[in-house]
A = this chain, B = another copy of it.
Amino acid sequence: MLYDAIVIGAGFAGLTAARTLIERGKKVLLLEARDRVGGRVYTHHFADGTYIDLGGQWIGPTQDRIYALAKEMKVPVFATYNEGKKTIALNGKLKLYSGLIPKIDVASLLNIDYVLKRLDKLASRVVPDKPWQTPDARRLDSATLASFLDRHVWFGNARQVLEAGFDTVFACTPAEISILQALFYIKSGTNLNTLLNIENGAQQHRFEGGAQTVANRLSKCFEAHILLNSPVTHILQTETSVQVITRNAQTHTALRVIVAIPPALCARITYTPPLPPLRDQLTQRVPMGTVIKCYAIYPTPFWRANGHSGQVVADDAYHLQTTFDNSPPDASRGILMGFCLAHRARKLLALPPQERQHQIMQNFIAFFGKAAEKPLLYTEKCWAEEEWTRGCYTGMMPPGAWTNFTDALTRPVGRIHWAGTETAAVWNGYIEGAMQSGQRAAQEVMDMES
């Protein structure tokens, strides 16, 4: 059997690429390492019907592809809970506030506003599909986002709030990415307000039944084309075709391959002939972020009764940068979700699971009081422990990578094409970006044939 295309990875990028090609009448095989589809979108269902999204869960305005797909797959979306007061935990004190502006000193507020506006203005100049061609790219790529903050943030409270926010957006510390990467990411997701907000922002909607429901239903449309439990170990190109070899020693052959997994995982496949050095070296340089997604599940969302939104932003004294109300739309359970990210996650990773759980629960109790003490269940997902992802949310370009390696992230290598949200020009790092990358790679394959 000679396929027109083999797609590697059944996350939203691979599913979209496969579907696009199948709809054009192509013979397609989709290989997935895990025993499920969805990739970084992963919903866990409990016996009592409660579900939690352990991976990607939100969508928002301008993410037209995923809204359309959810509609088509008949998966209703609902508004993320966003009523009541929020808490800011700063300098050992918890303060409640309403609206978008946390209760901190005016100087810090002005400083935060200045920094967000300045980053948005710089981001507006980024060339989204060619960040290395952005005006002044080399300078912006040679300094870290942390250096930018050192220069433009003058108040400790502003720094703490901005870092908690940026950690929540990037899932790595501001030291790890260049200013150019930060600007590119902001531009690809419209602007910083969009990235940070629930209402009219990237956190606006959730999916009934969880985000993986969309991937599951999509995969049913071409189930016969999908092989699960098939991690790819080797890709071998010849003059006329490509052989893809899986860990269980199966060989599949196609005219083209779309690799729809993160660059750090691309590095772990053996290629014959070897990849060009620029491509190989790039894959050494796009590390995954660090996320522990922490869940405490209660009989009811008790915080709502107290007029609280479930939303907290916390400084370095806590393990969780931010929390959200992740209860189901009918509030049949009360679910708090906390993000433990970047350096805070790395500290906790060194602890045994029991101790980690204890530390995180202490945070939930500090934020939400005695009522938070006894959840029905505590659970967490550490994405750095997942063999087939190795971190979340996404792969991030460190300083120097964009300007030194330019299009190595997306440029096809012979019969191999690259997809995955890391390669997206819009909504990079998000479900929407994954879908855009899948469409783009499928188009590349179709263009090659014509």
Interface residues of A, Cβ cutoff 8 Å to B = 141-144, 146-147, 150, 172-176, 178, 264, 267-268, 274, 276-278, 280-281, 284-288, 290, 342-343, 346, 349-350, 382, 384-385, 387, 390-391, 398-401, 403-405
Distance, CA A342 to CA B278, complexed state (A): 11
- Chain B residues lying within 8 Å of A390, measured Cβ to Cβ, are 280-281, 284
Distance, CA A178 to CA B143, complexed state (A): 10
Report 28 cross-chain contacts, Cβ distance below 8 Å, ordered by A residue. Answer: A142-B146, A142-B147, A142-B150, A142-B173, A143-B143, A144-B144, A147-B147, A175-B403, A267-B268, A268-B268, A274-B385, A276-B349, A277-B290, A277-B391, A278-B346, A278-B349, A280-B384, A281-B287, A281-B288, A281-B346, A281-B390, A284-B286, A284-B288, A284-B390, A285-B287, A342-B404, A346-B404, A398-B398
Smallest CB–CB gap between A317 and chain B, Å?
16
- Chain B residues lying within 8 Å of A142, measured Cβ to Cβ, are 144, 146-147, 150, 173-175
Distance, CA A382 to CA B280, complexed state (A): 13
Distance, CA A268 to CA B399, complexed state (A): 23
- Chain B residues lying within 8 Å of A405, measured Cβ to Cβ, are 346
Taking a contact as CB atoms under 8 Å apart, the answer to whether B277 and A349 are in contact is yes
Distance, CA A69 to CA B407, complexed state (A): 45
Nearest B residue (CB) for A269: B268
The listed residue with most B CB atoms (<10 A of its CB), out of A267, A391, A399, A401, is: A399
4 further interface pairs, Cβ-Cβ under 8 Å (given A143-B175, A281-B287, A346-B405)? A144-B144, A278-B346, A280-B384, A280-B390
- Chain B residues lying within 8 Å of A287, measured Cβ to Cβ, are 281, 284-285
Taking a contact as CB atoms under 8 Å apart, the answer to whether B278 and A264 are in contact is no
- Chain B residues lying within 8 Å of A147, measured Cβ to Cβ, are 142-144, 147
Taking a contact as CB atoms under 8 Å apart, the answer to whether B277 and A385 are in contact is yes
Nearest B residue (CB) for A385: B277
Distance, CA A267 to CA B405, complexed state (A): 21
Distance, CA A175 to CA B142, complexed state (A): 4
